Amino acid sequence: MTDTSSSAPASPSAAASPGVLLLHGWQNRRPADHWQHWLADELTSLGHVVRYPQLPDPDEPSLAAWQEVVRAELAALAGGPTTVICHSLSCLAWLQLRAGDDPPQADRVALVSPPSPELIAGQEAVREFAGGGALDVGGRRLSLGAGGRPGSTLADDAVLVAGDDDPWLPLGLADTWEARVEAGRHVVPRGGHLTPDSGYGPWPGVRAWALGAGGEAFGPRGPAAAGADRA
């Protein structure tokens, strides 16, 4: 695993390799039993350049500070194909970047357990991540910024993944995000918030997707996702 808590730049030769940026959630300090930590080790062992930064002040985070780290980490991976995998609160940080000026791009993007903005708005420590309406863009669905691969579809390269019993998505993945985000949707039965507490340490599905599998690696698609092609 590449420890990028200091956001050190990657070497030019490393940047040409497949790159993966993993972004964690609220109150997360990259525990060893989390699937993101496991995935970082797995991909590193296969020769991928993995950036897995400790985002600043995870208990009382600043949206601007997190976004600054995201941009720096993406810059460090410039030069090769890049995959971004966010979990929980960092999903909202990514979407806020996409809704703003100079939105970031990647080849593939997965937002795992993206929480309800309405619930986040009720949490004083993180309410700025909810966006204050920035994620509701006049009836248009926000792109995740996945450039994709030749012959692939949006449903495979830009994905939302969540448990069907996620406490941070009381209305479910489709009702919360379908009208807001253009992406394939994949629901994990009894997945909870997809954390170690719900059994997600080693997770073969996310590893398979990170290595190029389609969205089916995560399980059933949302009802509208199978036919979603890149706009």
> Was domain 12-218 assigned CATH 3.40.50.1820?
yes
What local confidence, expressed as pLDDT, does residue 225 receive? 35
Residue 85 is inside which H or E element, if any?
strand 82-87
Residue 164: is its pLDDT beyond 80?
Answer: yes
DSSP states of 29-44? ---TTSHHHHHHHHHH
CA distance 157 to 110: 8
221: confidence class by pLDDT, cuts 50, 70, 90: very low
Domain residue ranges in the chain: 12-218
* More confident call, 221 vs 193: 193
pLDDT, tens only, 197-219: 999 999 999 999 999 999 999 87
Up-side HSE of residue 31: CA atoms within 13 Å toward CB? Answer: 13
* CA triple 231-224-87, angle to 5 deg: 80
pLDDT digits (tens, 9 = 90+) for 169-192: 999 999 999 999 999 999 999 999
Is 231 a residue whose pLDDT tops 70? no
